[in-house]
Each structure stands twice: as C-alpha cells, then as structure tokens.
Amino acid sequence: MRIIVNGQQAFGRAVLDALLERGEDVVGVFTAPDQDGGRPDPLKEGALEHGISLYQPKSFRREAVWEQIRELEPDLGVMAYVTLFVPEEALNIPTHGTIQYHPSLLPLHKGPSSINWPIIFGETKTGLSIFWPDNGLDTGPVLLQKEVDIGPDDTLGSVYFDHLFPDGVDAMLEAVDMVRTGTAPKTPQWELAGLEAEVDPSELGTYEGWCRGAQAQIDWREPAAAVYNLIRGSNPQPGAWSAYEGGQLQVFDARRVDGTTAGESGTVTGLAEDGFEVATGDGSIKVMRVRPPGQGKVPAAQFAANAGLRVGYRFESRRGATQ
C-alpha cells in the first residue's frame, strides 16, 4: 500500500521508522511547520534522511493541501501524534481512509492530555486506541485497543515511555496489516461504552482539556493520595508546582507517606538526606526532586540545604501567597 504519515516528534518518527524497516511504501510525510529557533522535528528529519516527499502545512483546511495529498495517490493515511485539526476532506482522500493513534481507551479521556488525566484521577488502567478519525474530537469508530495498567507509583513518563509509546508503534503496524487484509473493524464508540443504541460520540465517555501549569498547582489541603496523583500525573510535563517565595517550586519525584499529619497542610514536617516531607490534608508527601524558580532539576535535599528550608515552613496552595 502507498502510505502517507502525518505526525510529529519522537512518536511520529518511530512510526515512520517502523513502517520503513518492514518495507512499507511511504510516499509522503506531513508534519508541523518549523518553529523559529527550534530544532527540526524528528519526523521531518526522518523524511529528509529517507528522501520522502515532505509537507509542512500550517493548516489542513485548505484545498491546496488536499490536492497535495491526492497527488501522492495514497492508499492509507497514518496519523501519529497530530495536533492540527485534519478535516474529513483530507482524511477520506486515501483509498482506505485514515487511521489515528490516541493514548487512551476511547471514549474515555478524549482530548490533548489523555495520558496525564487518568493518573491524576487515580485510575489504575488506561490504554491506547487506533481509530478512524472524523470531524469530531477523538470521536471516530475504533479499529483496535490495547489496555495498560497504571501502577501505584507510575508517572506520566513511565506510562508513556514504557508502555504507550512502544505499544502504540506496534499497534500502528498491526492496524496497517488489518487494513491491508480487509479485516480492520470500525466499532462505534457507543458500542465500546456498552450501550445498545447509537449515541452521539461527542456525548460519550469523558473529555479533558490540556493539562498545563494552571491545572498542575498543588493544593496541600487535599488528601495525600490526590496530591501524589497530581505530582506523578504531571511528571515530567507540565510539572506539578507549589507557590514558593513569590515563584513556583516544581515537584517531580516524590512518594506518599501515610500516617498522622504532624502539622498544618503545606507545612514542612521533616528533613532527610533524600528530601523533605510536607503535610497534606491527611498524611504527607516526601518530596525528592524539584526544580526551583529559574533553575534546573535538583535533589530536594540539595534544594532544602541551599534555600535554608526548615521544619515548620509552610508552602501555600495559591500563587502569590506569602509565608
């Protein structure tokens, strides 16, 4: 089959490499436009290294871009981490349509930060879907799904790099094979939700927006489990944070410490060689790696020593709060 790959970053490059390694006929690559002063996108570099026709449209809503796709005469479109909206006019040009990777078990966790939120919500299972995109947001019928367990100490990074990334590449190859053999299903999301009658897919499951800095602020009054889930679901991006001396102290590696809270929420209750403990609404959190304002990541104990952090210091939950 003649395949076009649309994607970006490391995952897009990995999908391209996997397709080429097994001899697939990739006739075109579409990726995001270059960013001023930024390094070239890995998928772009892959296309150039292999001499594949490269396109970097600012929008897929233009007839000129649709014509570029038609000229490639593709049999299948493969979308591997795409942030630009691609309308059905472009999706339906390949003979067999277009398939897309999404890192959740649709219809759950539609949206752009679908790996963060299950961890932040304390869920124990997530997964990936290869689906047939349409004009909705992650609403198209599903081709295949793979489940992934979320361990009690998993982070965004471990779930993605240990499971959703490599499993996603494999699932893409499996889906391409199913399209080739004519065995690729198009299961409506209402069926996956266990419903007996058709429902608008936009009303099914859940949708969450971006998990960015505003969503990653720690409220130390929350239970230790909720604080810990926020920290690990934001590690490494966007990084959970607490207001500190007029700035933001980002918290990365941490662990939950159950037991009686020995102080008001947000209070430093202990200092140790591997970090410092902060009281929460119940129990506490051992903070082990941080990023102080304007600096790189450092061990929490090193930060505490350099900053003169003391037992009894209280972190506030809101930006701009003073000690």
CB 222 within 8 A of CB 262: no
Q: What single-letter DSSP state applies at residue 282? A: S
- The string of pLDDT tens digits covering residues 62-97 is 999 999 999 999 999 999 999 999 999 999 999 999
Q: How far apart are the first and last CA of the chain?
A: 64
Task: Give, in order, the Cα–Cα distances in Å from 248 to each of 120, 188, 222, 292.
Answer: 20, 44, 18, 7
Query: Per-residue confidence at 322, pLDDT binned at 50, 70, 90?
Result: very low
Q: What confidence score (pLDDT) does residue 318 get?
A: 58
CB 145 within 8 A of CB 224: no
- The string of pLDDT tens digits covering residues 119-157 is 999 999 999 999 999 999 999 999 999 999 999 999 999
Q: What confidence score (pLDDT) does residue 317 get?
A: 72
> For residue 320, is pLDDT > 50?
no
CB 184 within 8 A of CB 175: yes
Check if CATH label 3.40.50.11540 holds for domain 2-203: no
* 167 C-beta neighbours (distance < 10 Å), count: 16
Query: Per-residue confidence at 231, pLDDT binned at 50, 70, 90?
Result: very high
Q: What single-letter DSSP state applies at residue 36? A: T
- The string of pLDDT tens digits covering residues 239-285 is 999 999 989 999 999 999 977 666 899 999 999 999 999 999 999 99
Residue 228 token pair: 């810990």
Residue 227 token pair: 């604080």
Same fold, 2-203 and 213-307: no
Q: What phi and psi values does residue 150 have, to the nearest 5 degrees?
A: -105, 110
- In the chain, pLDDT over 70 holds for what percent of residues? 97
Q: Options 3.10.20.30, 3.10.25.10, 3.90.340.10, 3.40.50.920; which CATH number does 213-307 get?
A: 3.10.25.10
Distance CA 68, CA 74 (A): 11
Which helix (H) or strand (E) covers residue 64, if one does? helix 63-71
Distance CA 52, CA 297 (A): 39
Q: What phi and psi values does residue 269 have, to the nearest 5 degrees?
A: -110, -5
The full length of the chain comes to 323
Q: What confidence score (pLDDT) does residue 49 get?
A: 97
CB 112 within 8 A of CB 238: no
Distance CA 81, CA 100 (A): 8
Angle (deg, nearest 10), helices 9-21 and 165-181: 50
Q: What is the mean pLDDT of residues 102-131?
A: 98
Distance CA 153, CA 151 (A): 5
Domain ranges in the chain? 2-203, 213-307
DSSP-based three-state secondary structure for 309: coil
> For residue 175, is pLDDT > 80?
yes
CB 52 within 8 A of CB 29: yes
Q: What confidence score (pLDDT) does residue 262 get?
A: 67
Distance CA 150, CA 119 (A): 7
CB 276 within 8 A of CB 235: no
User: Which is nearest to 113 in space by CA: 104, 122, 105?
Assistant: 104
- The string of pLDDT tens digits covering residues 16-45 is 999 999 999 999 999 999 988 788 999 999
Distance CA 307, CA 288 (A): 15
